[in-house]
Amino acid sequence: MSLAQPPRRRLRRSGGYTLLEVIVVVILMSGMSLLLSEALRTTQQTDGFLAASARAAEKGQTTIYSITGLISESRHLYENDATGIAYLEACDLGHLPVAPGARLPVIDEGSELHADAIDTPYAGNMLLFVREVNASTCVADRRRGTERWIDTYRMVAVYPNIVARGLSLGSKQSRDLVIWRSVAYPSYRQILEIGDKKERESVVKDLRDRYGFTYAWDPSEDVEEAFYELRGNGSVSRHPQGRPSIEEDDLLSDGGLLVYGGARLAETSDDSATRRAVLAARTVDDWHPHGFEVKVSGTSGSRKVWLHTVVEAAAPDGRRTAVQAHTTMAHVRDF
């Protein structure tokens, strides 16, 4: 009697897989791969969005606190009137021009700080103010060692600028925020108050030769009556310059603060709680602050400056952006 098993029984015990079993396993493996891939993609998108949110928050906070610090040390704020516009036009902002539609705020002399009423445009989206820098110590009489301290000032402008650089897919330009600083100007009035002619000439020569000042400034005058030439012989021009050009200090101006750090000012949108204007109300000309709002109230002895910024940053894939809003207040005292 043969002990060999029939061929069919040997096949059943061989431990192989049927085609159907292989197909089922492949389908299950494919489904698990798709689920894993989707989970990984979702995680990457979430991580990218969180990174964008962190960058928008960091850039917004750094920017608004830098501006607040400058405003708190200012000596005069210009507003959207004939004087303020004339000073703004005299500032050499051509390197980084002001974005179309940007405007200075109108100072509300009321003591309460509140959002604009409809069709009452006090809020703006740029600033122009004066900061007092370190006084210039000048030699008045070398023989006796007499010195004079002359107050010195510079203009500071904070404004939006359009940059031809897209932040996310489909965008070709971004709105940046610029801090511009002028060269410094010594006080014209303090120079004239030096009664001794020889001492005044020595001070003027020191201002020119040691500090490089070529013009003195009278803060109490309109821009066309405010700047006087300091001459090499120690004299001061009798007549103002007329139509001055307030030059930029290239070494101190910060330039754009956001775009080259991966962020930008967010466009205003009434459909978004974060992007919506907070200080400005809708006006007849349908003006929008687009990410930077300024409101000023109070008398010259104690003004309040309310700042609201909305900063947007893109995720690494460029498809999504995160928006963060920041609001703060500064107190200033004018001349």
d(CA 16, CA 3): 24
Helix (H, G, I), strand (E, B) or coil at 137: strand
pLDDT (average), residues 64-89: 94
- Of 296, 290, 13, the closest CA to residue 129 belongs to 296
Integer angstrom CA distances of residue 293 from 45, 222, 250, 314: 31, 26, 26, 22
Give the pLDDT confidence of 164-221 residue by residue, as tens digits: 988 888 888 999 999 999 999 999 999 999 999 999 999 999 999 999 999 999 999 9
Helix (H, G, I), strand (E, B) or coil at 166: coil
Give the pLDDT confidence of 262-320 residue by residue, as tens digits: 999 999 998 898 999 999 987 767 889 999 999 999 888 888 999 999 999 988 877 78
Name the helix (H) or strand (E) containing 205. Answer: helix 197-209
Q: Which residue has the higher pLDDT, 303 or 43?
A: 303
The answer on pLDDT for 156 being more than 70 is yes
DSSP string, 15-27: ----HHHHHHHHH
pLDDT score, position 11: 47
Residue 150 and residue 187 in contact, taking contact as beta carbons nearer than 8 Å: yes
pLDDT (average), residues 232-246: 92
Q: Which class for 132: exposed (0-12), middle (13-18), buried (19 or more C-beta within 10 A)?
A: middle
pTM of the model: 0.84
pLDDT score, position 26: 75
Residue 177 identity (one-letter amino acid): L
pLDDT score, position 1: 45
